[in-house]
Structure 1
Amino acid sequence: MNQRWWLWLERAQATVPLLAVAGLAGFTWWLVQSSPKDGGGARPALASSSPDFVLDKARVARFNAQGRIEAVLDGERMRHYPDTDRLQIDQLVLSARDDKGEGLKATSRLGEADHKAEVVTLSGGARVTALPVADQAASPRNRPVHFVGEVLRIDTRSRVVSSSEPVLLQQQGSEVRAQNLRYDDHTGITDLGGRVHGHYDAP
């Protein structure tokens, strides 16, 4: 009788770990099923709408594959916003030239640009000047052309100036106003849209 009792006790002891594991698994399953559902997967963290850095009297320069400067963007203060990866600039000054020496000079009270200064939007007293090649003979094409408006956009890669808001074109005594504008600095062609009025002095 005692031998049977000990045999039964040994078998019972052997099953205790299995029962404990099964009980733990059941409790875990119950805990998961009882947890409140959040209605979906993990939500991504919201990008910050605050600047991650602020620089005073800062400069951003872009170089081509040969190491020549294509565009230089200066500002009294620059703020970088990580959620859009864009720069906000106070007292913006922009200079962009190609390998022939033709280029654009721009100023405005405020500006916004991507981190490579490829596309720049000027606002508040925006002024863009198309600069001719300095060593070429004087001609209508080689006179500086000024564009003035509240909002002007510059693509420094293609050197195209555009605006969907009223703009003033000035060139050596000539003044023309339009509702919108597209100027290609490579060709010197200006497209003026909407109501256009003013005077243009022929050379």
Structure 2
Amino acid sequence: MQALLASLSGIVMRLLPLLLMAIVAGSTFWLVQINSPKEDQAAQSTKKHEPDYFMDRFSATELAPDGSTKIRFTGDRMVHFEDDQTYEVTRPAMRAYQPERPPVTARADIGRMNAEGSVIDLYGNGFVLRQQGADASKDPQLTAASSYFQLLVNDDIVKTDKPVKLMRGPSVMTANGLIFNNVSREVQLLGNVRGTIVTGPSPARTPGS
């Protein structure tokens, strides 16, 4: 019996280094597996910012619940990038419509739009035009020019942090930035505001007033 135990002990001692090596090898393989990116993750990380399709002379329209046109977006060319699902547009122009209010148009040389179409950055010769209202004395034409504008489509806001020139009727203003809320019709000029505000003639005074 003692001889058998001694024999088994000798076999175990001889196999122990091999067993330890197998455990270490197995652990190393497991660590490599859990720390290695999956095939689809690796493929995703190697995607380049390259276009996968484009459209020429496109026009897209968003309708209001009553079927009227709410937004119309046009451009000479729209290119889609697969890696981040963004778009680049050549000579983009967006026009927003609201009932009983003059439309607002924004355009530029180049536009970049996020995947959801909720944010559009306009670069180069950016120009925003709000046509005059029914009463030009109270709601004159408004224009803004800058090298950059950002359109927040869902909020109906146009803004820029670049130098901007604003014209409202005969009034001319310049500033370091601008926020235009098309819903509230408010214009906020940001930093180093300069210009000339021209007001209309005062109403004629009645006798005895």
TM-score normalised by length of structure 1:
0.74
- The whole-number CA distance in structure 1 between the counterparts of 2:66 and 2:135 is 29
Using the TM superposition, give the Cα deviation of residue 116 of structure 1 relative to its aligned residue in structure 2, in angstroms: 5.7
- The whole-number CA distance in structure 1 between the counterparts of 2:63 and 2:119 is 15
Q: 1:191 to 1:101 in 2, by over 3 A?
A: closer
Q: How does 1:35-184 map to 2 (within 5 A)?
A: 37=32, 39-42=35-38, 44=41, 45-46=43-44, 47-114=47-114, 117-133=117-133, 136-140=134-138, 142-184=139-181
- The whole-number CA distance in structure 1 between the counterparts of 2:182 and 2:105 is 12
Contact kept, 8 Å, 2:53 with 2:80, in 1: the verdict is yes
2:196 counterpart residue number: 199
- The whole-number CA distance in structure 2 between the counterparts of 1:163 and 1:90 is 20
Alpha carbon RMSD of aligned pairs, Å? 2.5
2:11 counterpart residue number: none
Using the TM superposition, give the Cα deviation of residue 172 of structure 1 relative to its aligned residue in structure 2, in angstroms: 2.3
Q: 1:63 to 1:85 in 2, by over 3 A?
A: farther
Q: Per the alignment, in what secondary structure is the counterpart of residue 154 of structure 1?
A: strand
Identity %: 18
Which range moves more in the overlay, 171-180 or 109-118? 109-118
Contact kept, 8 Å, 2:177 with 2:191, in 1: the verdict is yes
Using the TM superposition, give the Cα deviation of residue 179 of structure 1 relative to its aligned residue in structure 2, in angstroms: 0.5
1:26 counterpart residue number: none
Q: Alignment length, in residue pairs? A: 172
Listed as ranges, the gaps of 5+ residues in structure 1 are: 1-28
Q: 1:123 to 1:41 in 2, by over 3 A?
A: closer
Contact kept, 8 Å, 1:88 with 1:112, in 2: the verdict is yes
Runs of 4+ in 1 over 4 A off after TM superposition: none
- The whole-number CA distance in structure 2 between the counterparts of 1:59 and 1:70 is 13
Q: 1:82 to 1:65 in 2, by over 3 A?
A: farther
1:10 counterpart residue number: none
Using the TM superposition, give the Cα deviation of residue 165 of structure 1 relative to its aligned residue in structure 2, in angstroms: 1.1
The one-letter amino acid paired with 2:78 is M
**Higher RCO structure (Cα 8 Å, ≥6 apart):** 1
Q: 1:76 to 1:181 in 2, by over 3 A?
A: same
Q: Per the alignment, in what secondary structure is the counterpart of residue 149 of structure 2?
A: strand
The one-letter amino acid paired with 2:144 is F
- The whole-number CA distance in structure 2 between the counterparts of 1:67 and 1:117 is 20
Contact kept, 8 Å, 2:84 with 2:115, in 1: the verdict is no
Q: 1:132 to 1:185 in 2, by over 3 A?
A: farther
Contact kept, 8 Å, 1:62 with 1:117, in 2: the verdict is no
Listed as ranges, the gaps of 5+ residues in structure 2 are: 1-21, 201-209
Q: Per the alignment, in what secondary structure is the counterpart of residue 192 of structure 2?
A: coil
